[in-house]
């Protein structure tokens, strides 16, 4: 008993000192580690003191047994059911009024739904197109023009349309591989000149930016769920949960080396949605 | 004395004396496992306290601003006003960083305590009639906790949380018929959406906390009214509850636990860095942090996404993407089964009686086996949610680790369920728990010089802790 009260006293004393210490630390400019440690002593000091007090010093209060409440006697239940059902019956006796009330409440509920429409704009065709238009030049994250000489073989960069740098849905990866190593159908190959090929950077699985390029195996990998796409073969998925290929951005190279888009991506970018045609 | 005068005054105005004395003398049983729910409650209080402080500094705006604060690597960079406000809170507001870190740690402890509490209630059968309502409310609180966590860590608008939001947007998009509309209405338009931070803030600091407060109040009121379950022990019956009165003994212990919980979380928040958004950088849609993991209570959902096969379906010219099943249908099923468990079990066992005695896991081998199945399932999925990090730690390729995880996702639960069933049945059928203290026997030396037994106490089946209590 004596030892327990000593422990409680020490705990409360330490808590007081720590709380005073917090003043000092705060006035001195604050320091997260010290603040955390002092808060611990201040709070847990009082807490531990109280717990020791309750368990060791309140020995006079022993275990008590009380009865648990049970369900009410049957006649009470009966009376409650009667009171509840009686009210409903009273109302539903006037059938027409009751139905009109339900109708009015339903209509009001419906009217209350409409403001939800104001929360966002209609999707329309926005998921089917991006900012890319024929003739737009490719620029990098900083807005610098991307040219034939920007990339070494087996390297890549993120590109945007010149008028939409940083755009969420127009982001694309431009990769340079050995000229002639791409295995694309003829119409797609025309949009990938001299070993330069561009794909949407939005993963078709869950929409993360496909940011890892494994140059040795020519694969793009998404860091979120490890969907992996074969760059040489039209960015078809070769591993992971993605089912669809990354859409290709057809590009051309001007005589002076400037790169331009030939049009929008070959398919809607990003993850699947209900209205996406198979 | 002033307290007595106060009680007197209350009684004269509200006729409250019998209410006060009845509730102050109310008995609360003691068991260490009852702490788990209390820790969840107190971490929530701490979340509200620290969160209020944070909300005074946070700005829900994607307006681009130039960072000019003291963190040198980001100086001059364009960041959103939201990210800037969290950076200011972390580096320039005195006691801001410690508050932010305590808040995040409190969220982790909150969810951990809820999970541990659910596990305790499940394995002891404390959800049985008449406590199904508390169970349902508890599962609701767990779901709200996940929502609170996700909306909270999405607010700083950093690279990591941006990836999480992008995935959430894609998941909404995958819902048949209305997914596109829902995603546009919630985000205000195509991702990233102009209004999303503001909406997350309203959800995080108003709607979800209000719902948690309401359900928490109901949860506590029902427990208060119905009383706790208790393990079987000599002298205890189904109709009584044995323990210490609320005032002052239980109250002091519980307040002590609250302050200790606060203190430990404050220590974590002070000493252990969490969610260092300055290392992740501001969110930009064209880059994803690698590796990127959500907080652990969302990790199992992330794991499902990572392990799920590349199944895409087409119906009548429409597409059902790879996300719908693993991110909505399977978790929906898991939570439905979890929520309905009390009813499923009552139906399967035909037991519709009241139960105020808690059970030991061994007393219900089938239930315990199912519990072990569920826990193994979650553990494997949480590992899968960090498959890149774990694979790197183990020194193997992610792809082969995924193969292992897929097998483990099926074999692990089967194995843990079978072993649990076998252990529980074996323990149940033994006359005495192997860890229980041996039965106490008292002998007396008789006149002939031999011994005779005068008192034997057979321990109640499997009450090791109770045996210790009495010594």
* B23 in reach of chain A (CB within 8 A): no
Question: Hey, of B106, B263, B385, which one would you mutate to test binding to chain A, going by the most A CBs within 10 A of its CB?
Answer: B263
The alpha carbon of residue A96 is apart from the nearest alpha carbon of chain B, in Å, by 36
Question: Hey, of A29, A39, A139, which one would you mutate to test binding to chain B, going by the most B CBs within 10 A of its CB?
Answer: A39
Query: Mean per-residue pLDDT for A99-115?
Result: 95
Mean pLDDT of chain B: 92
Residue B51 belongs to domain with CATH number: 1.20.810.10
Structural domain span for residue B444: 440-470
Question: How many domains, in total, are found in chain B?
Answer: 2
| ipTM metric | 0.93
| pLDDT score, position A8 | 97
Question: Hey, of A25, A58, A63, A249, which one would you mutate to test binding to chain B, going by the most B CBs within 10 A of its CB?
Answer: A63
Domain boundary among B252, B272, B293: B293
Contact A37 B271 (CB under 8 A): yes
Is residue B320 assigned to a domain? Answer: no
Closest-CA residue of A relative to B285 is A168
Question: Would you say residue B455 has pLDDT above 70?
Answer: no
| pLDDT score, position A59 | 84
The alpha carbon of residue A26 is apart from the nearest alpha carbon of chain B, in Å, by 7
Question: Hey, of B285, B315, B392, B401, which one would you mutate to test binding to chain A, going by the most A CBs within 10 A of its CB?
Answer: B285
Is residue B140 assigned to a domain? Answer: yes
Nearest to B239 among A43, A68, A206 (CB): A68
| pLDDT score, position A46 | 97
Q: Please, which pLDDT band fits residue B468 given cuts at 50, 70 and 90?
A: very low
Question: Would you say residue B469 has pLDDT above 50?
Answer: no
Contact B314 A222 (CB under 8 A): no
Question: Would you say residue A14 has pLDDT above 90?
Answer: yes
Tell me the per-residue pLDDT of B299-339, one tens digit each, with 9 for 90 and over.
Answer: 999 999 999 999 999 999 999 999 999 999 999 999 999 99
- Give the CA angle between residues A39, A41, A42 to the nearest 5°: 60
| pLDDT score, position B458 | 52
Contact B245 A166 (CB under 8 A): no
* B88 in reach of chain A (CB within 8 A): no
Contacts of A278 in chain B (CB under 8 A): 314, 317, 319
Contacts of A168 in chain B (CB under 8 A): 190-192, 285-286
Is residue B307 assigned to a domain? Answer: no
Question: Would you say residue B85 has pLDDT above 90?
Answer: yes
Contact A241 B306 (CB under 8 A): yes
Lowest mean pLDDT among A131-140, B226-235, B366-375: B226-235
Tell me the per-residue pLDDT of A168-204, one tens digit each, with 9 for 90 and over.
Answer: 899 999 999 998 899 999 999 999 999 999 999 999 9
Contact B170 A206 (CB under 8 A): yes
Is residue B96 assigned to a domain? Answer: yes
Is residue B421 assigned to a domain? Answer: no
Cβ under 8 Å to A: B residues 399-418: 399, 402
Nearest to B240 among A32, A68, A276 (CB): A68
Closest-CA residue of A relative to B193 is A120
Is residue B259 assigned to a domain? Answer: yes
Is residue B74 assigned to a domain? Answer: yes
C-alpha distances in Å from residue B88, one per residue of A30, A221, B71, B91: 14, 35, 9, 5
pTM of the complete model: 0.93
């Amino acid at each position: 008993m004596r030892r327990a009260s000593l422990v409680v006293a020490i705990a409360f004393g330490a808590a007081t000192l720590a709380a005073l210490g917090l003043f000092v630390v705060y006035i001195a400019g604050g320091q997260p580690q010290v603040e955390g440690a002092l808060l611990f002593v201040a709070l847990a000091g009082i807490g531990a003191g109280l717990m020791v007090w309750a368990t060791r010093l309140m020995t006079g209060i022993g275990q008590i047994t009380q009865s648990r409440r049970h369900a009410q006697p049957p006649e009470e239940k009966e009376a409650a059911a009667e009171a509840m059902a009686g009210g409903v019956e009273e109302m539903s006796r006037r059938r027409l009024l009751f139905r009109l009330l339900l109708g009015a409440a339903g209509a009001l509920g419906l009217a209350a739904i409409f403001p939800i429409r104001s929360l966002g704009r209609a999707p329309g065709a926005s998921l089917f197109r991006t900012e890319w238009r024929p003739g737009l030049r490719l620029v990098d994250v900083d807005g610098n023009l991307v040219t034939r000489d920007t990339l070494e073989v087996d390297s890549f960069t993120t590109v945007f349309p010149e008028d939409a740098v940083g755009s969420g849905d127009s982001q694309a990866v431009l990769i340079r591989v050995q000229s002639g190593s791409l295995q694309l159908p003829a119409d797609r190959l025309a949009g990938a000149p001299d070993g330069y090929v561009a794909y949407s950077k939005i993963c078709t699985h869950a929409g993360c930016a496909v940011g890892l390029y494994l140059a040795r195996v020519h694969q793009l990998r998404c860091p979120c769920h490890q969907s992996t796409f074969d760059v040489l073969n039209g960015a078809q998925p070769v591993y992971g949960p993605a089912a669809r290929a990354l859409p290709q951005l057809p590009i051309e190279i001007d005589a002076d080396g400037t790169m331009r888009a030939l049009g929008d991506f070959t398919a809607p970018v990003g993850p699947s949605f209900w209205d996406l045609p198979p | 004395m002033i307290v007595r005068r106060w009680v007197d005054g209350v009684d004269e105005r509200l006729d409250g004396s019998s209410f006060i004395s009845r509730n102050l003398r109310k008995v609360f049983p003691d068991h260490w496992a009852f702490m788990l729910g209390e820790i969840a409650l107190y971490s929530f209080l701490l979340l509200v306290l620290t969160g209020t402080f944070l909300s005074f500094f946070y700005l829900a705006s994607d307006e681009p601003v130039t960072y000019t604060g003291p963190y040198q690597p980001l100086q001059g960079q364009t960041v959103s006003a939201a990210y800037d406000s969290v950076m200011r809170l972390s580096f320039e507001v005195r006691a801001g960083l410690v508050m932010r870190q305590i808040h995040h740690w409190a969220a982790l402890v909150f969810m951990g305590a809820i999970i541990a509490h659910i596990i305790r209630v499940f394995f002891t059968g404390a959800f049985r009639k008449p406590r199904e309502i508390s169970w349902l409310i508890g599962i609701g609180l767990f779901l709200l906790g996940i929502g609170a966590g996700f909306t909270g860590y999405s607010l700083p608008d950093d690279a990591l949380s941006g990836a999480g939001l992008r995935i959430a947007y894609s998941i909404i998009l995958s819902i048949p018929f209305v997914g596109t509309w829902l995603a546009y209405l919630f985000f205000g338009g195509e991702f990233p959406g102009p209004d999303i931070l503001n909406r997350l803030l309203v959800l995080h600091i108003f709607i979800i906390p209000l719902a948690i407060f309401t359900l928490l109040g109901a949860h506590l009121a029902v427990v208060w009214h119905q009383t706790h379950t208790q393990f079987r022990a000599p002298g205890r019956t189904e109709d009584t509850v044995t323990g210490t009165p609320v005032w002052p003994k239980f109250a002091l212990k519980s307040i002590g636990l609250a302050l200790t919980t606060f203190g430990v979380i404050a220590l974590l928040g002070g000493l252990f860095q969490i969610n260092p958004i300055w290392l992740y950088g501001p969110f930009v849609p064209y880059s994803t942090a690698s590796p990127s993991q959500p907080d652990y209570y969302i990790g199992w959902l992330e794991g499902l996404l990572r392990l799920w096969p590349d199944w895409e379906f087409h119906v009548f010219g429409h597409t059902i993407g790879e996300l719908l099943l693993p991110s909505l249908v399977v978790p929906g099923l898991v939570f439905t089964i979890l929520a309905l468990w009390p009813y499923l079990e009552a139906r399967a066992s035909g037991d519709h009686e009241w139960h105020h005695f808690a059970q030991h896991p061994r007393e219900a081998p089938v239930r315990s086996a199912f519990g072990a199945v569920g826990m193994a399932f979650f553990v494997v999925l949480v590992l899968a949610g960090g498959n890149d990090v774990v694979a790197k730690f183990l020194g193997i390729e992610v792809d082969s680790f995924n193969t292992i995880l897929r097998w483990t996702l099926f074999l692990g639960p089967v194995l843990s369920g079978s072993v649990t069933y076998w252990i529980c049945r074996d323990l149940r059928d033994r006359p005495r728990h192997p860890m229980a203290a041996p039965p106490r026997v008292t002998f007396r030396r008789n006149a002939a010089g031999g011994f005779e037994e005068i008192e034997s106490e057979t321990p109640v089946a499997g009450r090791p802790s109770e045996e210790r209590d009495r010594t």
